[in-house]
Structure formats: structure tokens, C-alpha cells
Amino acid sequence: MPVQVGGGKVADPKGRLDLPATDKARASAKKNRRRQKKATAATAAVPAPVAAMQRLFDTSKEVFADSLPGFVPPPEAVARLAGLLNGLKPHDVGIESSMLCFKNVDSKGPSRVTYLHFYDCPKFSFGIFCLPKSAVIPLHNHPGMTVFSKILFGSMHLKSYDWARSAPDSDNNALENSDGSHLAKLNTDAVFDASAETVVLYPENGGNLHCFIALTPCAVLDVMGPPYNRADGRDCSYYKESPYMSSSGGDARYSWLKEITSTFEMKGVQMPQRVETISCDDSSSLMLPSSVIEIG
Ligand SMILES: [Fe+2]
């Protein structure tokens, strides 16, 4: 019910003034000017996370345009995407180390890994793995995939393998063991931090099977294509490693990897905001943070 106030003007219970026609026209023009100003500001100053992620999306889309299982992007395309990732900072993607997902909230259980899911289509996907200190992503594979990994902050131990094509022991050249494990050759066994360049693994080389141990809270952005696809027989498998012994003794360059049922669980978080500036050919959409987000 409107409430009568002085000067013949009427206010409704929400405090809005019912203005005479000329005042109404003036107010409406003012409102329109404000709207225009707002729209101009929105197009002129795209928030940093949107601009950076838009570039990442556009470049990934080009690099993985022909993505199929076993596809390897041309070297020029790999260099372009790796170069873009090399320059990416945490604030570009709206994260910072003070976020809850980088803290060990449950002191009794294992450190929980969180995956911030940004984009997914049949050709490629990207997201950020958030690891509190001591969190582990166990040894797993990337069947038929090319994966770009960039550490945004923190440090981690990375160990990676590729399937061996030949055994180092001329007396025993078996690539498969009686227990079903396969021979794998060590690719990388080192500590990486944000100063490291983008690590790229391929379907057949570059360390297609890998595991991470967070030495400090850390964030890793992954762009991978084509994504895992269980229906296509390309699910993520986990492995247990056992030392390789040749007839002349141990050889640290090789290990036996046996597929296991893993109990590893990750908390997946779909990024909350759809951004209009992203254009997709398909029905998928990119999720972006508008600013630093808090994820528990
Ligand atoms: Fe991985």
C-alpha cells in the first residue's frame, strides 16, 4: 500500500518515490546513462581472470582442433600453448594459496586434493589441481592423451614413466611379468616449482604415467586432450610400482607397473560463473571465477 508524504508525491512501502511525469522522464534518462556507462565499463575492462582464461581457452581450442585419441599437436602449437601457460600466474586464474583447498582441514585423514573444473568438451579439457602440503596424486596414466601441466605456485615431487618398448636385459627381454605388471621406463624423477616451465606429456612418451607429491601447498593447471572417456575405453587407471631387477642386479631406470584398484578420491568443483565472452562451437561452456574464490 502506497504511503502519502508531503508535496503530493507518493512513496510505496519500499521507499520508492512516485514522481510526476517530467521528473520520471529525467530519472529514466539518468538511469539509461548509468546503464550505458556500466555496459561500456564491462566491455572496456574485462577482469584479468576472464581475459587470461579466454586466451587459454582460445589457444587450447586451436591446439586441440584435430584432437582424437593418440593425437599429438604439431611442435609449433605445443610451443604456443606451453608459452602461454609459462606466463600464467595464480591471480590470472583467480586462485591464491590462502584458499581452504590448499589447507589440510582434516588432520586425521590424508590430505585432500581438489580439482577446479573449468572446461570440458570431447577435444580437450582444463582445470586446476589444488594440493595441500603432503597431498598425493597417485601414479596414473593418460591413455592416448597429450597433457600440458603448469605449476602455478608451490613445489612438488614429480615422478613419471612411459611404457618400455624394450627391456634393458638381453637375458630376459620380457615386457610383461607373470603377475600382469608391465615394464615401464623412468622419464622424470625431480622436484618442480612455479619457476619450472610447462611439462608436456604425450600418448607414447614424455612421461604419460605420473604421480605427484606436494612438498608445499601447490596448484597445477592441466590442459589435456582428448579428455578421459570411459565409454571409449580410455578411463584413468592407477598403478603400483615394483623395482625392476635385471640378471645383473637392480636398474633404477625401470620399474614394473601393475594396475590396481585405487581408493584415491578427489573433490571436484565446477567453477561457478558462466562468462559471456567465451564462445564455443559446442554446447559446453567455460566456468570461470570472477575474482579470487573460496573453496572449502
Ligand atoms: Fe595426470
CA of 251 to the centre of ligand 1 (A): 25
φ, ψ for residue 58 (rounded to 5)? -60, -45
| Residue 243 covered by a domain | yes
| pLDDT at 272 (0 to 100) | 54
| Residue 100 amino acid letter | L
| Residue 237 covered by a domain | yes
| pLDDT at 238 (0 to 100) | 97
Give the pTM: 0.78
| pLDDT at 104 (0 to 100) | 87
| Residue 24 covered by a domain | no
| CATH code of the domain covering residue 238 | 2.60.120.10
| pLDDT at 64 (0 to 100) | 97
Q: How far is the C-alpha of 15 from the C-alpha of 2, rounded, in Å?
A: 9
| pLDDT at 281 (0 to 100) | 46
CA of 228 to the centre of ligand 1 (A): 11
φ, ψ for residue 141 (rounded to 5)? -110, 175
- Cell 637375458: give the residue: 171
φ, ψ for residue 9 (rounded to 5)? -85, 150
CA of 115 to the centre of ligand 1 (A): 12
> What pLDDT, in 10s, does the model give residues 71-98?
999 999 999 999 999 999 999 988 999 9
CA of 287 to the centre of ligand 1 (A): 21
| pLDDT at 107 (0 to 100) | 72
CA of 272 to the centre of ligand 1 (A): 23
Of the candidates 261, 224, 221, the one whose C-alpha atom is nearest the C-alpha of residue 240 is 261
| pLDDT at 277 (0 to 100) | 41
| pLDDT at 119 (0 to 100) | 86
Question: Structural domain of residue 88, as residue ranges?
Answer: 48-288
| Residue 293 covered by a domain | no
Give one word for 249, left, alpha or beta, with left for phi > 0 and alpha for psi -120 to 50: left
| Residue 26 covered by a domain | no
CA of 202 to the centre of ligand 1 (A): 11
| Residue 33 covered by a domain | no
DSSP assignment string, 162-190:
EE-SS-S-TT---SB-TTS-EEEEEEEEE
Domain count, the chain: 1
| Residue 31 covered by a domain | no
Q: How far is the C-alpha of 206 from the C-alpha of 210, rounded, in Å?
A: 10
| pLDDT at 219 (0 to 100) | 97
User: How do strand 266-270 and strand 113-120 relate by DSSP bridges?
Assistant: parallel
| Residue 72 covered by a domain | yes
Which of the residues in the chain have pLDDT under 70?
1-49, 271-296
